[in-house]
C-alpha cells in the first residue's frame, strides 16, 4: 500500500501524473535555487508569487524553465521572471504550460544524479533488490527440503529403533 501511495505522489507529469522534478541549471533563480539543486513540483492552481516549472510555448517539448510568477498577463497567461533577473521572460505561459508549483528543494542532488557512477550504482542496487527475493525463495525451498529430509530420516531412525526393541523383547 505504501508503494502505491508513493507511486501516486511521485508519478511524473510526462506519464500523466502530477509531479515534476527538475534540476536547476543556471543562475536566474539565485539565491532561491542554485545550479544542481533538485526541485520537486506538484500540479495545482498557480498564483502570483509562486515559483513554477513551465514549458515555454513554442519551444522544444523537453525545455523547462523554473521562474516566479510576478503578475497575471493580459492574454490569460502569467508574467514570469527569475529572482536574479532584472528582466521579464519573453513568454507568458498559461496554466496549460505550467507543469507544477515548486514545493521542495533538495540542494546539490541534481549534480549527483548526472554522474554516471551514481546511475550505475543505483542500477546495481535495483538489480540486487530484484534478485534478492528470488534467492530467498530458492533458499527457503532448500531449507524446507532439508527439514523434510531430516524429519524423514528421524522417522526412519525411530522405526528402526522400534524394530530393534521388538526383536530384543521377543
Cα 67 to Cα 41: distance, rounded to the nearest angstrom = 12
Residue 6 confidence class, pLDDT cut points 50, 70, 90: low
Q: According to the model, what pLDDT value does residue 124 have? A: 84
Per-residue model confidence as pLDDT tens digits over 74-129 = 888 999 999 999 999 998 999 888 989 999 898 888 766 667 776 678 788 888 87
Q: According to the model, what pLDDT value does residue 74 have? A: 81
Q: According to the model, what pLDDT value does residue 154 have? A: 60
Per-residue model confidence as pLDDT tens digits over 147-158 = 666 566 566 555
Whether 162 shows a pLDDT value over 90: the answer reads no
Fold of 7-113: Umud Fragment, subunit A (2.10.109)
Q: According to the model, what pLDDT value does residue 170 have? A: 47
Query: 98-106 and 19-23 as β-strands: parallel, antiparallel, unpaired?
Result: unpaired
Amino acid at each position: 500500500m505504501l508503494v502505491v501511495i508513493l507511486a501516486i505522489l511521485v508519478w511524473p507529469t510526462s506519464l500523466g501524473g502530477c509531479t515534476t522534478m527538475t534540476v536547476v541549471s543556471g543562475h536566474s533563480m539565485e539565491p532561491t535555487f542554485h545550479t544542481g539543486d533538485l526541485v520537486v513540483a506538484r500540479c495545482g492552481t498557480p498564483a502570483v508569487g509562486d515559483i513554477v516549472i513551465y514549458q515555454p510555448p513554442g519551444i522544444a517539448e523537453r525545455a523547462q524553465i523554473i521562474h516566479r510568477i510576478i503578475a497575471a498577463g493580459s492574454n490569460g497567461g502569467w508574467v514570469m521572471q527569475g529572482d536574479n533577473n532584472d528582466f521579464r521572460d519573453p513568454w507568458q505561459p498559461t496554466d496549460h504550460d505550467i507543469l507544477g508549483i515548486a514545493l521542495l528543494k533538495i540542494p546539490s542532488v541534481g549534480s549527483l544524479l548526472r554522474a554516471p557512477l551514481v546511475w550505475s550504482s543505483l542500477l546495481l542496487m535495483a538489480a540486487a533488490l530484484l534478485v534478492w527475493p528470488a534467492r530467498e525463495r530458492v533458499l527457503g525451498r532448500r531449507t524446507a527440503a532439508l527439514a523434510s529430509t531430516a524429519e524423514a530420516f528421524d522417522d526412519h531412525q525411530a522405526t528402526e529403533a522400534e524394530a530393534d526393541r521388538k526383536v530384543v523383547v521377543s
